[in-house]
A = this chain, B = another copy of it.
Amino acid sequence: MVKAHASVLADQVEDFPRWYQDVLDKAQLADNGPVRGTMVIRPYAYGIWERMQAAVDGRIKAAGAENVYLPLFIPQSYLEREAEHVDGFSPELAVVTHAGGKELSEPVVVRPTSETIFGELMAKWVQSYRDLPLLLNQWANVVRWEMRPRTFLRTSEFLWQEGHTAHATREEAAAYARRIHLEVYRSFLEDVLAIPVLMGDKSPAERFAGAVNTMTCEAMMVDGKALQMATSHELGQNFAKAFGIGFTDSEGAVQDCWTTSWGSSTRMLGGLIMSHGDNTGLRLPPAIAPVQLVIVPVRDDGRVLAAAARLREELEEAGVRVKIDERLTTGFGRRVTEWELKGVPLRIEIGPRDLEQGVATLVRRDTGSKAPVTLSETSALIPGLLTEIQHAMFQEAQRRLTDHTVETTDPAEAKEAAQAGFARIRWDLLGEAGERTLNGSAITVRCLQTEDGGLPAPDARPEELFAVVGRSY
């Protein structure tokens, strides 16, 4: 058995940012684009993104929303309509001034979000209470110029989905945003990506501009820093008033709608890497892994590849995503290193001698454990093992989150604890003044939650809430 070369990557503890960059590179996940801040998503990472999209999209459709596609280009005047918006995005905008071989009479902005066009269209599409709820979502690229780009986490262009919905009542809008947050985002992040997420509301200072409430899913990376994985906003009637999204109710009176918006992006790829990766590379939870099991023949004597093909067939029938590494002119150790880098959950190593005895070696990527398996029993064994790995990876991440979250009772203690993970502190003991102080040390309030870690009720009082604070990406 050849051990993977740990030296391929920088050490996570010594230099986490460098480790992250090494994984992107060596696992062939991403390249930099020729324009600063842009990225090339390579086939292996894009395959993961396709699975993310499918899982999130399926959940969005199950919640009743339909997909649309809106234009990339937005007239500059649209972004001047809502003042808060311009302040939020202006330095991040990419502006098209020339097209069709001449200067445009009005410059056109490359969408930083499609919010303003959604606003325009929703105002047009909603007339009567019969048109409500209007539940829309879009998968698209957006552009926000980045001065300090980091692949997947902050790039000048990224891929995302943004949902926008309009409802007749505040209660209905609030319930729908909460449903999306729990049934789409939390479910996907925890059940598919095996990333435990803290549920909570953003503090007023961290809230999305124009929102009356922003719910967030906060995850803890291997280095103890937070990554915001998805957010869901209740926009009250603010957005509807700004865009004129009104409806005639069943009594004939005209009312403003109550709207929501919610989004997740290719940033989740960064979160996946930094939640589960180790010094040997990526570790993919089976539910998201494009390849769940790779068969690596040590060498072929004319029978090994044939046996591998039979095994693949059996495994595929059992619903497992399998690949055979047939690059026999490449050294076995090098091939093993590559699959470990790519985080394939299970590996079966098989050579002529194994085959004679009807066995092979089964290696788990999450634990590194190796054990002999009887070939004839393998396909019956694997699906259950994949489920076990999925569960074990979630548990491991959950333990890290728990072990590195300290309950504190004063801001100074919270600041100290936030150097190595998260701190929880009663919101009335921290307050907005305490939050500003922590911000000065690059520590932010990640979310406000109930004592037992749930989403706060709409009428929760400050003294019932707990702030989770930490450093973040």
A binding-site residues for B, Cβ under 8 Å: 31, 33-35, 38-43, 46-47, 49-50, 66-75, 78, 90-101, 107-108, 110, 117, 120-121, 124, 130, 136, 140-141, 143, 145, 147, 156-157, 159, 327, 329-330
- CB pair A71–B38 under 8 Å, yes or no, is yes
Q: Which residues of B contact A121 (CB under 8 A)?
A: 31, 40
Q: With A94-B98, A108-B35 known to touch, is A43 a contact of B136 (CB < 8 Å)?
A: yes
- A16 to nearest B CB, angstroms? 25
Contact partner, A71, options B35, B90, B93, B100, Cβ 8 Å: B35
Q: Which residues of B contact A70 (CB under 8 A)?
A: 33, 40-41
Docked complex Cα distance between A11 and B247 (Å) = 34
Known: A34-B120, A41-B69, A93-B101. 8 other contacts (CB 8 A): A38-B73, A72-B141, A73-B156, A91-B101, A95-B97, A99-B145, A100-B145, A130-B329
Docked complex Cα distance between A14 and B100 (Å) = 33
- CB pair B68–A43 under 8 Å, yes or no, is yes
Q: Which residues of B contact A157 (CB under 8 A)?
A: 71-73
In the complex, the count of this chain's copies comes to 2
Q: With A40-B121, A67-B47, A157-B71 known to touch, is A94 a contact of B99 (CB < 8 Å)?
A: yes
Q: Which residues of B contact A99 (CB under 8 A)?
A: 93-95, 145, 156
- CB pair B46–A68 under 8 Å, yes or no, is yes
Docked complex Cα distance between A39 and B464 (Å) = 48
Contact partner, A68, options B42, B96, B145, Cβ 8 Å: B42
- A327 to nearest B CB, angstroms? 8
Q: Which residues of B contact A90 (CB under 8 A)?
A: 101
- CB pair A66–B95 under 8 Å, yes or no, is no
Docked complex Cα distance between A37 and B273 (Å) = 40
Docked complex Cα distance between A376 and B239 (Å) = 49
Docked complex Cα distance between A96 and B99 (Å) = 9
Q: With A38-B73, A40-B121, A69-B46 known to touch, is A100 a contact of B92 (CB < 8 Å)?
A: yes
Docked complex Cα distance between A75 and B34 (Å) = 7
Docked complex Cα distance between A78 and B47 (Å) = 27
Q: Which residues of B contact A143 (CB under 8 A)?
A: 72-73
- CB pair A66–B43 under 8 Å, yes or no, is yes
Q: Which residues of B contact A35 (CB under 8 A)?
A: 71, 73-75, 108
Contact partner, A100, options B68, B91, B100, Cβ 8 Å: B91
- A73 to nearest B CB, angstroms? 4
- A120 to nearest B CB, angstroms? 7
Q: Which residues of B contact A156 (CB under 8 A)?
A: 73, 99
Docked complex Cα distance between A14 and B38 (Å) = 50
Among A47, A73, A108, A121, chain B packs the most CB atoms within 10 A around the CB of A73
Docked complex Cα distance between A67 and B43 (Å) = 6
Docked complex Cα distance between A467 and B407 (Å) = 79
- A392 to nearest B CB, angstroms? 29
Q: Which residues of B contact A91 (CB under 8 A)?
A: 100-101
Q: Which residues of B contact A31 (CB under 8 A)?
A: 121, 124
Q: Which residues of B contact A327 (CB under 8 A)?
A: 130
- CB pair A47–B34 under 8 Å, yes or no, is no
- A76 to nearest B CB, angstroms? 10
- CB pair B67–A50 under 8 Å, yes or no, is yes
- A290 to nearest B CB, angstroms? 10
